[in-house]
Amino acid sequence: MDKVTAEKLYDAFYMKVFSYVMTLAGDQNDAMEITQETFFRAITTDKEFRGESDSFTWLCAIAKNIFIDEKRRQSKMGEATLEEKADSKSLEKSLMDSETSIRIHRILHEMEDPYKEVFQLRIFGELSFQQIGSIFGKTETWARVTYHRARLKLKERMDEK
């Protein structure tokens, strides 16, 4: 990839990829490292972007793979996983937030995938339904329906508690 193309890719998608990685990692430092590694791999890889998907989708796939690899590496080394770090950060944040916010985060934490991830990508990652669908290899309609169901599950569980 030439320098101009790499700079355009970085400028156009850095914040979007970072937001996506934040939904996965839950920790700003980990998200920054994974995002940087994502762009490094995208720019320096021998494999060319084939154009079969959106550039953002391609970058998110790379980021998700890096996140999974990092999570595996840390669990093998006995270190705190990225999820444990995210839980400790969310605990600190929860202590400062209102009671409603705490309840919402607890319910989200217990929610099953893909509802949890789709909801987080939409709300915290601020991704479009089309982008969410492409990340999962599904349609925009699938992403809309899954998000709607996640909202209903969240509302039901909020009403129960």
Q: Do 65 and 21 reside in the same domain of the chain? A: yes
**Mind listing the pLDDT tens digit for each residue in 15-47?**
999 888 888 888 888 888 999 999 888 888 756
Domain boundaries, position 25: 1-80
Indicate the pTM of the whole model: 0.49
What amino acid is encoded at 122 in this protein?
A: R
Residue 85 lies in a domain: no
**With bands split at pLDDT 50, 70 and 90, how would you rate the model's confidence at 81?**
very low
* CA dihedral for 139, 26, 16, 76, sign (positive or negative): negative
**With bands split at pLDDT 50, 70 and 90, how would you rate the model's confidence at 95?**
very low
Residue 88 lies in a domain: no
Per DSSP, helices labelled H in the chain are: 3-25, 28-44, 55-76, 82-96, 99-110, 115-123, 129-136, 140-160
Residue 91 lies in a domain: no
**Mind listing the pLDDT tens digit for each residue in 100-112?**
777 777 888 888 8
